[in-house]
Amino acid sequence: MSLAGKPALFDCVTIFPEMFAALTGAGIPRKALEEGRWCFRAWNPRDFSGFTARSVDDRPYGGGPGMVMRPGPLEAVIRAAQARQAEEGRPSRVICLSPQGALLTHQRVMELTRQAEAGTGFILLCGRYEGIDERLIARMVEEEISVGDFVLSGGELPAMTLMDAVIRQLPGVLGDAASASEDSFVAGLLDCPHYTRPEEYQGQRVPEVLLSGNHASIRRWRLKAALARTRERRPDLLRNRALSAEETQLLAEILREEAHGKEQCGEH
């Protein structure tokens, strides 16, 4: 439940509401939904099309392939969702999931989570076809968010990605609150490797330090492993990060070990 006494609310504008069953019907989001920690409503713009055929798209001006979603039905459905949220005493925020938007990051997820906890209701606009009439975006959309530099068939999967990322940060959703605090990106680094039983699998053993019971050594190993993985896979994260004294020391160790390994292999 949010700090404002209301569950997080997502009103999704989509012509495929059935897709959201993947989120509402399984796993952590389903459990949190049943516990009343968040709410979901689907709004189909076809119900606001004004045409018997319930069409919401038309050919693009200027020619070209595909169809474009018409502004009229989308504005009508967004205003209906806004009115519903206003009746419930909530401020609204309209977000369009779009490849043209700002990249969704952990920092932005946490900002959205705080807004949800404060009672803001989100209206997530899921585009289809070649896109949405730009006039609708200019009139009604407050923010465009992208989940990556690639194109999907519609905004439903990105909307569910955003929702899942926010939901798992809500108080009480995860059984162990430390789970969210130790995720990748929370500390600006990728997560360290994880292991479980058996101790040996296909000739590979769990690192001995993780079996030692020495919590200080385990914490240090995990931080070092996270730094090494981040340096290998996402060096941009390290360039944008102010390292602590311990992280600087561990990174120096990683570099020395890497250099030593190259010497052992005869590399120069």
- b/e 2-31 (16+ beta carbons within 10 angstroms → b): beeebbbbbbbbbbebebbeebeeeeebee
Map residue 43 onto helix, strand or coil: strand
Q: Which of 130, 143, 144, 164 is catalytic?
A: 130
Q: Which of 46, 99, 182, 234 is catalytic?
A: 99
Q: Which of 183, 193, 220, 231 is catalytic?
A: 183
Torsion over CA: 151, 26, 112, 76 (sign):
positive
- Beta bridge partners, 58, equal 68
Is 258 considered catalytic here? Answer: no
Q: Determine the residue type at 42.
A: A
Dihedral (C-alpha) 20, 26, 31, 37: value to the nearest 10 degrees? Answer: -20
Q: Where are the alpha helices (DSSP H) in 195-244?
A: 215-233, 235-239
Q: Which of 37, 70, 168, 222 is catalytic?
A: 168
Is 176 considered catalytic here? Answer: no
Is 135 considered catalytic here? Answer: no
Is 99 considered catalytic here? Answer: yes
Give the residue numbers marked as catalytic.
99, 130, 168, 183
